[in-house]
Structure 1
Amino acid sequence: MTSISTKAGDGGKTTLANGVRLSKSHIRIEAYGAVDETNAAIGVARLKLPADQTTVAEMLERVQNDLFDIGADLEAADASAPQRLKAEQVARLEREIAALSAELPPLNAFILPGGTEGAAALHLARSICRRAERRIVELKDVQGEPVSDDILAYMNRLSDHLFVASRFVNGKGANDFLWKQHAAS
């Protein structure tokens, strides 16, 4: 059996696909690490979905595969390499957001994370996704650090997708917790 442990990272560095070694605290590592966290949170959310939420579960499975594409693109750190994530994947997210939204009542208040277990898990995944998006923006802001515009668009849409999906699995909005401004304690 081959060991998964190479010990090459024991000194706090990791190697990119192009052979470059970076500190594990480098913003590129932070960016694709946050994408990995998003993927893991979505995996937990999928486990928390009720059995009748197969449509959302299938959407989330596609998203998890897309996030592997994004992680690989970020890890490659090569603007000349073909990108795995394509604009069509962003467009698919937009279509799915529209389809789920069409079955939801309009929003008249902010939504607090919660309701059903599945919805709460999707809200957590959404907030982790937003952090990943911030790390990717931070990476893109560094001169000489390539990030495709499709990746930024995808991560922005994904947080919207997770929000709409949380409402959808929350009884199509019926179990949403609404924010009550200046709630008394």
Structure 2
Amino acid sequence: MKIYTRNGDDGLTSLTGKTRVPKYHPRIEACGSIDELIAWIGHLLDFRENEGRKEMLLHIQDQLMRCAYLVASEDTIREEVMPDPCFLQKIENEIDRMEADLPSLRNFILPGGHAAISGCHIARCVCRRAERSVVKLNFMEAIPEIVLKLLNRLADYLFVLARRLGSDLDIQCVEWKV
């Protein structure tokens, strides 16, 4: 099977139900942001500092693929493709575990200090963009609530992961002060 079809040369693409829409359609924008987030999570997997988090990061990618499918779906949702609602609790548990011995934040922190930390912050920003795209879409067409919750929680996870990596690598985070 060839990767190119020439079907998108006219600026249109297909949703999962085969309806053709402009490539700037809100569903396509949201899917694109989720796809970019999946790629950034893959980038985080490349760091040896995340070796012990490989299973969690792969699970996150899987759940995000499911979210992208839901966002691109205009038809009846197949139940077996739905994200796992129990995964939200898993993310929260992991956030709590990583955050347990981190110092309290009193200020914003500036991303940086190590490529893996910066990667987490970039992924977090992409996640928030995906979340905004899905929220906007949700005001036009109903999107399953699990997608909104997962993106919101995942951005928090990525922020805490950046802080956890900084602590583990003994890298002082730079606080932004007015």
TM-score by length of 2: 0.91
Of 58, 68, 81, 1:71 maps to 68
Of 128, 136, 154, 1:138 maps to 136
What letter corresponds to residue 111 of structure 2 in structure 1?
A: P
Aligned-residue offset at 1:67: 0.8
Does structure 1 residue 175 correspond to structure 2 residue 171?
yes
Q: Which residue of 1 aligns with 2:56?
A: 59
CA contact (8 A) 2:16 2:75 kept: no
Does structure 1 residue 11 correspond to structure 2 residue 10?
yes
Structure-2 separation of matches of 1:79 and 1:101: 39
Q: Which residue of 2 aligns with 1:46?
A: 45
Q: Provide runs of 4+ in structure 1 moved above 4 Å.
A: none
Aligned-residue offset at 1:66: 0.9
What letter corresponds to residue 72 of structure 2 in structure 1?
A: E
Q: Which residue of 1 aligns with 2:124?
A: 126
More off after superposition, 19-28 vs 88-97: 88-97
Q: Which residue of 1 aligns with 2:152?
A: 156
What letter corresponds to residue 93 of structure 2 in structure 1?
A: R
Change (3 A) 1:79 1:98: farther
CA contact (8 A) 2:45 2:54 kept: yes
Unaligned runs of 5+ in 2: none
Query: How much identity, in percent, do the aligned residues show?
Result: 34
Structure-2 separation of matches of 1:68 and 1:100: 25
Aligned-residue offset at 1:80: 5.1
Classify the secondary structure of the residue corresponding to 1:179: strand
Structure-1 separation of matches of 2:109 and 2:77: 42
Change (3 A) 1:79 1:141: farther
Of 108, 118, 143, 1:147 maps to 143
Of 102, 105, 115, 2:103 maps to 105
Structure-1 separation of matches of 2:124 and 2:93: 18
CA contact (8 A) 1:79 1:147 kept: no
Structure-2 separation of matches of 1:49 and 1:165: 14
Unaligned runs of 5+ in 1: none
Number of aligned residue pairs: 177
What letter corresponds to residue 180 of structure 1 in structure 2?
A: W
Task: Flag the structure with higher helix content.
Answer: 2
TM-score by length of 1: 0.88
Aligned-residue CA RMSD (Å): 1.7
- What per-residue deviation string (whole Å, max 9, x for no partner) do you get for residues 60-100 of structure 1? 12111111111111111335543511311212111111111
- What per-residue deviation string (whole Å, max 9, x for no partner) do you get for residues 94-127 of structure 1? 1111111113222232211112211111000000
